[in-house]
Chains A and B, each alone.
Chain A
Amino acid sequence: MNKDENQIIITVTGKDKVGIVSAVSACLSEHSVNIEDIKQTIMQDNFVMIMLCDIEKMSVSFKEFKDDLVKLGEELKMEIWVQKKEIFDKMHTI
């Protein structure tokens, strides 16, 4: 896989509360997923965190990793999306 295919975007949205970044980061580290960049913002009263990560050294399959993150999202009452970055590059640039 080339570098692009190893890059993923994690989008976390929901009501702001203590511990979101820490819980998500812990899950990433547990699966050996490296955070390359992170940005948080408030959009229409919603907390939005977007993370750029690299899954080259990820210790489990993509599906297992995504399932774990989505489950974590349910526990945190946040919505978590995990997508390969390519989709955004292709869709919005000519």
Chain B
Amino acid sequence: MSYVNQKHIIETIKMIKIHHLDIRTTTLSLSLRDCCSSDVKKTGQKIYDKILKYASNFVSCANEIENEYSIPIVNKRIALTPISLIGESCDNIDYVYLAQIIDKAGQEVGVDFIGGFSALVDKGFTKGDLKFFEQIPEALATTNKLCSSVNLGTSKAGVNMDAVLKTADVIKKTAQLTKDSDSIGAAKFVCFCNAVTDNPFMAGAFCNVNEAECALNIGVSGPGVVSSAIEELDKTADFGEVSNLIKKMAFKITTSGELIGRRLAQKLNIPFGIIDLSLAPTPQEGDSVAEIFKAMGLEQAGAHGTTMALAMLNDAVKKGGIMASSYVGGLSGAFIPVSEDAGMIEAARLNSLTIDKLEAMTSVCSVGLDMIAIPGDTPNSTIAGIIADEMAIGMINKKTTAVRIIPVIGKTVGQDAHFGGLLGTAPIMSVNKFSSEIFVNRGGRVPAPIHSLNN
């Protein structure tokens, strides 16, 4: 059969059926810059109407495409312009009200998550930003699909340490308000250094002010495809061979994402934005980034050598994916969430994976400390210290880093937090017991590093 190789057909079906190749997310990025007004009710109505106008057939079109190509599209999401910017012009601003309106619109159009309840404060706060920060916990506690993010630092501006401290308070307060469901509110909040403007992944997706009216961004997945291919390699295959194999698999994963993205954008009659060259795990067996480390020859994720394994994986995924897409963006790389990855959960339970090892790994992964459950009584200053360290890695290395950490109120080390669905289950990990109190309370802004002066 000359038109298409039989082996390729069987391989593709195997990748989908056995190794969980899927499109992790199709994210509709939507600008709300035309929704500002002086009255919060009017702004809310404009936002609601705009979401419904652009996204009412989004989920049904995605389902159709999924059916036509038999590749699962796991999540359909919307990313909005940071709401702190849109709400700021209202004389009677009430961000919780806007959060609820957005959540209602998300419910109405049937998406899984809706992001953009965000603020960009890397260089400082406006009055509106301060009010926004105060209202994040209640907004997250009273909505279902809403995701929130804040950008606290950049390699160009340095790190806003006042915002780091406030963010730790937001995380703790959100955890407290949602303590009946293992503090899940904190799982829908992330803080960044060098946040990207076209990220399709939650909780950090938003449509920045430099983005177009609307676009469709895609995040692919397929750690199972990569780990199974490496497992089939001889144990003595050298790193050049392993890297090449990852590149080939990443190419295949990415082309499927590019095709689905282009077809869906065509159906929705909106521009195709970017594809995020990602390896995103799920809690499902065989869909794990940690399994890739094992396939490479490490006994568990977290064993010495894991940072190198991740660095090589991350690099090879990008090299393989870049040829497969015309526009690459987002976070692009391998994600290392704990609760969303069966292998990482196992490694954390065995104490092979600690928060310190994870921090080292974030210097070479696509984002940062992700979906990590810590004891509910962790002091806010310790959480701020964890965030500060992560921001430092991002700022100095000119990469995106992030913290999505969940202080599980009422639970401690040895217990599990259950978030359900894609968010998974997390064993509670211990944090350093020594205080960061005086350090994080110094406040102000850590100046931008010397290499920011590159003009």
Do A92 and B10 have beta carbons less than 8 Å apart?
A: no
Do A9 and B68 have beta carbons less than 8 Å apart?
A: no
How many B residues face the partner with a CB closer than 8 A?
24
> Does any Cβ of A come within 8 Å of B49's Cβ?
no
Closest chain B residue to A88 by CB distance?
Answer: B4
> Does any Cβ of B come within 8 Å of A57's Cβ?
no
Q: Hey, which chain A residues are within 8 Å of B256, CB to CB?
A: 87, 90-91
Interface mask (B1-34 → A, CB under 8 Å = 1, otherwise 0): 1011110111111000000000000000000000
Closest chain B residue to A89 by CB distance?
Answer: B4
Q: How far, in angstroms, from A86 to B256 measured CA to CA in the complex?
A: 9
How many A residues face the partner with a CB closer than 8 A?
25
Do A85 and B10 have beta carbons less than 8 Å apart?
A: no
Do A84 and B69 have beta carbons less than 8 Å apart?
A: yes
Q: Hey, which chain B residues are within 8 Å of A9, CB to CB?
A: 4, 9
Interface mask (B159-188 → A, CB under 8 Å = 1, otherwise 0): 000000000000000000000000000000
Shortest distance in angstroms between A1's beta carbon and chain B's nearest beta carbon? Answer: 11
Whether A84 touches B68, Cβ cut-off 8 Å, given contacts A50-B6, A91-B252, is yes
Interface mask (A74-86 → B, CB under 8 Å = 1, otherwise 0): 0000000111111
Q: Hey, which chain B residues are within 8 Å of A11, CB to CB?
A: 9-10, 13
Do B255 and A91 have beta carbons less than 8 Å apart?
A: yes
Q: How far, in angstroms, from A62 to B255 measured CA to CA in the complex?
A: 23
Q: Hey, which chain B residues are within 8 Å of A18, CB to CB?
A: none
Shortest distance in angstroms between A62's beta carbon and chain B's nearest beta carbon? Answer: 6
Q: Hey, which chain A residues are within 8 Å of B259, CB to CB?
A: 86-87, 90-91
> Does any Cβ of B come within 8 Å of A41's Cβ?
yes
Do A87 and B64 have beta carbons less than 8 Å apart?
A: no
Shortest distance in angstroms between B4's beta carbon and chain A's nearest beta carbon? Answer: 5
16 additional contacts (CB under 8 A) given A86-B259, A87-B69: A37-B1, A50-B6, A52-B1, A62-B68, A66-B67, A81-B13, A83-B12, A83-B69, A84-B69, A85-B3, A87-B70, A87-B256, A91-B255, A91-B256, A91-B259, A94-B323
User: Which A residues lie at the B interface, using CB under 8 A?
Assistant: 9, 11, 37, 39, 41, 43, 48, 50, 52, 62-63, 66, 81-92, 94
> Lowest 5 CB-CB distances: which A-B pairs, in order?
A92-B8, A90-B255, A39-B1, A83-B70, A90-B259
Interchain residue pairs with CB less than 8 A apart (9): A11-B13, A84-B69, A86-B69, A88-B5, A90-B258, A91-B8, A91-B256, A92-B5, A92-B11
